[in-house]
Amino acid sequence: MPREILVPVDGSRKATEGLEHALSTYGEESITVLHVVNTHRMTDAVGGRDSNGDGERDSGDDGERDPSGDGERDSGDDGERLSLPEISEERYECARAEAEEVLSAATDVAADYGVSVSTAVEVGEPWRTIVAYAEDHDVDHIIMGSHGRRDDSPVPLGSVAQAVMRRSPVLVSIVR
C-alpha cells in the first residue's frame, strides 16, 4: 500500500523545490499537493493592511478595519463606502484564482516528472490547516519548503515550516 505524502505549496520557489524533492524521491507513492488560502492575508486585506496581497502594509492607511463602527470602510478614494462583505468576496475571488494558478503550476511540475498528483485547497491559518489536513487524511509524511513567499529570509526556517515541524503528528521533511 503506498504511503500518503502531503506537499503544501504556495507558489514560492522553496515550495516548488519541496514538490520536486517529493516527486523525485516518492514518485511511486500517493502524493497530494495542498494549497492553503491564508485567512490572515484575506483578513488583513479587508483591513487595508495588505490589499495587494504582497504581505506588506499598504502605505497611507491607518489600518483600522471599521473606523465608524458601521460595518463599512471608507475606500479612501472619493469617499465611496464599501461594505466589508463586498471586499471579502473580492479578496476571496482573488485567493481562489491564486489557488488555481498555484495548483495548476504544481500539476505541471508533477507531469514533468511523470507523476500524477492529487490536489486540494483548504482555507485557514497555514500551519494549523496543514497539520489538520495531515491528521484528517491519514498522511504519512509531509514534505515542504523551508520558506514560503519570503524565501530570501536569513532565518533557517520560516514560521509555517517551523510550526508544522513542531506540531505535526507525522514525519516532516523540510527542503532548504
> Residue range 17-44: average pLDDT?
89
Q: What pLDDT digit, counting tens, does each position of 6-28 carry?
A: 999 999 999 999 999 999 999 99
> Residue range 167-174: average pLDDT?
98
> Residue range 45-65: average pLDDT?
40
pTM for this structure? 0.74
CATH for the stretch 4-39+85-175: 3.40.50.620
Residue 166 makes CB contacts below 8 A (sequence gap 6+) with: none
